[in-house]
Amino acid sequence: MPLGPYACDLLARLTKDHLLKGRIGFLGRLWPSQVTFGQVKTLLSKHGSFPNIATAGYADDRIINDKRLTGLLGFSECLAIDFDRSEEAEIEQDLNVTPPASHIGYFDVLYNNGTMEHIFHVPNFLENAFHYLKNDGVIIHSSPMNNVPEHGFYQFSPTFFFDYYEANVFEILECSIVEHDFTNGQHRHRHWSFNSYDHQPDPLYAKLGAPGNSHDVVFVARRRGASTSNTIPTQFRYRRNTVSAAG
């Protein structure tokens, strides 16, 4: 997945909003880079001060790759997890397969930026992420939700993340829907907070955006001591119906 302005902006915001630091792992390598140091400075400035910017010493036209970006954000280490050797990931693993052979409980932050939809065995992907993440570590998902058929195997609804991470006793930190507008060759995006449990079923059914726009779901959760990875959720709308019928 290329590293572009949108991913830089999202990571900067989440780093500030949730006080993220330490070791970050990318579930799928973020490259090639499409951003320069000048662009990154502008993007990051919207979210407050990042001390490493002032001491970086890069020219404004210097290409900023994933490792340089996370260093500028203040992370101590950045490793990528990927099965394709051409991606030059530090940890080679097919995320369809569990469990990981190394780096168990290693990462403070894991970032899934458009990788999970390409993995056929999603439960194994989620179990791998769980094992790579340390207690109190944070996982970030940025996944396609709408109007991207044939991009990968799947598109994901917010309820997928809410129900899985609630069932597995994670702390849910945030969820937002992002609308991507590529009109006239320019990429604009807007996002709004969304909580599946605050709505009646199907609040977005056939109601999303202008023709040609696509939508992602961004979901952030924290692993806790009681967290698990293998509890199979029931979608909340049917769980509610079951509780109602039983009452």
Check if the beta carbon of residue 132 is closer than 8 Å to that of residue 115.
Answer: no
Q: What is the tally of structural domains in the chain? A: 1
E strand map for 68-156: 77-82, 91-92, 107-113, 133-146
- pLDDT at residue 245, rounded to an integer: 46
How far is CA 158 from each of CA 119, 197, 209, 219, rounded to the nearest angstrom? 18, 10, 16, 8
Please list the pLDDT of the chain residue by residue as tens digits (247 residues). Answer: 789 999 999 999 999 999 999 999 999 999 899 899 999 999 999 999 999 999 999 999 999 999 999 999 999 999 999 988 777 899 999 999 988 999 999 999 999 999 999 999 999 999 999 999 999 999 999 999 999 999 999 999 999 999 999 999 999 999 999 998 887 777 888 889 999 999 887 888 888 877 789 999 999 999 999 999 999 999 998 886 654 444 4
Structure token pair of residue 210: 């202008």
> Closest Cα partner for 108 from 133, 87, 127?
133
User: Tokens 């990318």 — which residue?
Assistant: 26
Domain of residue 69, CATH code: 3.40.50.150
Cα Dmax for the chain: 66
- pLDDT at residue 23, rounded to an integer: 98
**What is the pTM assigned to this prediction?**
0.93
- pLDDT at residue 240, rounded to an integer: 64
Residue 19: which domain range?
A: 5-246
Using CA atoms, how far apart are residues 203 and 110, in angstroms rounded to an integer?
Answer: 29
